[in-house]
Chains A and B, each alone.
Chain A
Amino acid sequence: MDIASTADPVAATGDRLTKISIQGVGKVFGDNIALAKVDLDLAENSFTCLLGPSGCGKSTLLNMIAGFAKPSSGQILVDGKPVTGPGADRGVVFQEYALFPWRTALENVAFGPMLKRRGRAEQREIAMHHLAKVGLAGHEHKYPGNLSGGMKQRVAIARALANDPTVLLMDEPFGALDAQTREVLQEEMLRIWEQDRKTVVFVTHSISEAIFLADRIVVMGTRPGSVKEIVDPDLPHPRERTEREFIALERHLKHLVRAEVQKLGVI
């Protein structure tokens, strides 16, 4: 078994450039410490999963990278510059899709290019290209209300990619989908990532999803939210869920996460 595991979170971006640098970041809501001092460097073009039970602050951390929330302490640097708010360099995919219901699939995907004042033909071309990439050619003129959950999330991914961000932040994007759709989208997500090579930060509470996707898994703990362990699964893609290494890693992570859930007491 070849699992690199380290307790020192700052280490091991290797010789790849640091894209996102989280430096002593904490977040407090009233008396509640949602996140205590997190230090984490994410390499350029890496695929990182933030894994943990509810209440470990993984979404809070993602929201702070996105610029939706400000850290109570510390700072987050993207490309060496501190994050001050949301920006087009960091695309976000939400669990609830967050598509504009009054825009067709095509118009949703063209939203970013439209904001950049691209010509109409170019907007359309970019949107068509990205819809095709997520397998939605032929569904361009449907409204979100007419799409299934899986299709909605495909549109949301295409919309984020069409804006050509360097960072893609995904907050439990497949959490609301059924198991089969979920696995298909995980495979497609990997395929897209291998083509586009963005720096992906992917929040999930599914252990197998994290192992299937990530080249770095950040296991987060509760009370207070913090980084507990960092695991770099060194398994070749495509990863087979029934393989011995996969299962061994799954078991290891399950123990880690369960210990954190138990800290919460009765849930």
Chain B
Amino acid sequence: MSTQTGLKARLVAMGAPTLSILIFLGLWLAVSLGNRTVLPVFNPVLLPTPMEVVQSGIDAVRSGDLQRDILASLSRVFQGFILAAIAGVFMGVAVGTWRPLERLVEPMIEILRPIPPLAFLPMMVLWFGIGEMSKIAFITYAAFFPIFTTTLEGIKYVDPLLIRAASSLGASRADMFRHVVLPAALPAIITGLRLGFGLSFFVIVAAEFIAADSGLGYLINDARTFFMVSQMLMGAAVIGIIGFTFNVALRALEARLLRWRSVARA
């Protein structure tokens, strides 16, 4: 009985997003086909149908281009993100634990943070060349900030009552860090990593517009050069699907690592 209602609830939960996507695709198809047949408003080349976009994806897979571009982008994203994660978490923890360092570093971060990372892209190309280095450095730079700032907040705003409780149980400074500060900051750190990963994906496309011979950004830009609208849309759709997939996976990982939080909400 309960499993049945559980299944039903799950179907309902999945039904709404599916319906929303179907409506979106339906509208797109209607506009595209409508423009071609009933009511011509714009040049049909400008808006291919969803089927044409899928076809262009199939073609790209057949030629092997799509796999190569996805792999190139993912590899850059992973390398840049991992560097940013290490630097951001490490510095966030260090700055959050040690007050003098915070006073030294915080103003620098506050000056750099509002500048859109893209503003530095030309400089990165200048410094690191048009190879992989510039893209990875750029992603690292962009993803660093959300990871660093959320880690810092997490470390800084640990409930002082928990610190008191642990110290009255005999916790040393090292114990306190390992058993109270880090676990208390973990939700913030994970949120920061998720934001950082999202941002890595966000900026890689722009980096690949400027200087690259592979990657999804290159795929889109290349399609623009040759006016292949279906391929442009296909590139964007692939980025959306990959981003969505990773976000779902990261959220599942988060729910698992922070089981105590999801349990508490149940």
Contact = CB atoms under 8 A, between A and B. Distances in A.
A125 to B, nearest CB: 18
Contact of B169 (A101, A103, A112, A145): A112
Contacts of B264: 101, 143-146
B24 to A, nearest CB: 37
Which of A67, A90, A92, A115: most chain B CB closer than 10 A?
A: A115
Interface stretch (B42-50, B147-155, B175-183, B197-205): B175-183
Interface in B137-175: 159, 161-162, 164-172, 175
A94 B170 contact: no
A111 B159 CA distance: 17
A143 B259 CA distance: 9
Contacts of A104: 260
B171 A102 contact: no
Given A102-B186, A146-B264, A88 B161 contact: no
Contacts of B166: 100, 111
A224 interface: no
Contact of A115 (B175, B186, B258): B175
Contact of B180 (A100, A143, A160): A100
B260 A115 contact: no
Given A87-B170, A115-B170, A98 B165 contact: yes
Nearest to B266: A146
Most buried by B among A111, A112, A114: A111
A203 to B, nearest CB: 15
Nearest to A92: B168
Interface string A142-168: 011110000000000001100100000
Interface string A81-112: 00001111011101010111111100000011
B263 A111 contact: no
B233 to A, nearest CB: 44
A94 B179 contact: no
A120 interface: no
B159 to A, nearest CB: 8
A105 to B, nearest CB: 11
B162 A98 contact: yes
Interface string A108-126: 0001101110000000000
A86 B167 contact: yes
A85 B265 CA distance: 36
A122 to B, nearest CB: 16
Interface string A215-257: 0000000000000000000000000000000000000000000
Contact of A163 (B169, B180, B265): B169
Interface of B: 159, 161-162, 164-172, 175, 179-180, 183-184, 186, 258-261, 263-266
Given A67-B167, A88-B169, 4 more contacts: A101-B261, A102-B261, A159-B169, A160-B168
